[in-house]
Chain A
Amino acid sequence: QKEVEQDPGPLSVPEGAIVSLNCTYSNSAFQYFMWYRQYSRKGPELLMYTYSSGNKEDGRFTAQVDKSSKYISLFIRDSQPSDSATYLCAMRKGAGSYQLTFGKGTKLSVIP
């Protein structure tokens, strides 16, 4: 079993839809959780950064972490064609840990 599992999609939604992206993980030592967005032929850029369980909202984006279920989610409200990209979840262990473990990424297309 891989440490981080993420459905690669592709996921296609109409403009304005609510998008739900998810990752599961197996290592309970993970404490810091991130979502990166990667446009085609570009490097990943950080979208959301959360610590431990709970919700974090930033504009149209909400990140949720449920450590008891080892499950993290990213919600995108009022999705736009400009949100079309690959979304990668990433996580790392304690404060002294520097290595990120990434999911494979979910490719999202928002259709106008």
Chain B
Amino acid sequence: GAGVSQSPSNKVTEKGKDVELRCDPISGHTALYWYRQSLGQGLEFLIYFQGNSAPDKSGLPSDRFSAERTGGSVSTLTIQRTQQEDSAVYLCASSSSTGELFFGEGSRLTVL
């Protein structure tokens, strides 16, 4: 596609349930990022994938969070046993060698 595609755009779930958020980056972009944006907060780095290298998971807030990137393209962010503090917009971005990040429109997660 022309841009970074994320799904679902909105997700409402109950506390304790697992959720999966999907990101389809721009074709040919080797780098993929996940960020979290909470109300009144800046973008918080979660995880970074670059080609076949081991991902940088240093921003994941707890072991309930995990992400994978299959075939160097689509990525899935999984949150297990969701908590109310996980409510946020989860943004995916991809970039090529220029380093410019192109963001998707985000997945808005609400945990009741």
Contact = CB atoms under 8 A, between A and B. Distances in A.
Contacts of B43: 44, 88, 90, 100, 102
Nearest to A97: B99
Interface of A: 4, 6, 8, 32, 36, 41-46, 49, 88, 90, 92, 98-105
B91 interface: yes
Given A43-B106, A44-B91, 19 more contacts: A4-B42, A6-B42, A32-B99, A36-B103, A43-B4, A43-B103, A43-B105, A44-B43, A46-B100, A49-B100, A88-B43, A92-B99, A98-B50, A98-B56, A98-B99, A100-B43, A100-B101, A102-B42, A104-B42
Provide the main secondary structure of the chain B interface. Answer: strand
B57 to A, nearest CB: 12
Between B40, B41, B99, B108, the greatest number of chain A beta carbons within 10 A of the residue's beta carbon is seen for B99
A6 B40 CA distance: 12
A104 B56 contact: no
B104 interface: yes
A43 B49 CA distance: 19
Contacts of A101: 45
Interface in B5-33: 31
A98 B104 CA distance: 18
Contacts of B50: 98
Given A43-B4, A43-B105, A98-B99, A105 B48 contact: no
A100 B42 contact: no
A41 B48 CA distance: 23
Contacts of A49: 100
Interface in B69-112: 91, 93, 99-106, 108
Contacts of B93: 43
Nearest first, the 6 A-B pairs at minimum CB distance are: A43-B103, A104-B42, A102-B43, A102-B42, A43-B105, A44-B103
Contacts of A43: 4, 91, 93, 103-106
A45 B3 CA distance: 11
A8 B105 contact: no
A101 B48 CA distance: 13
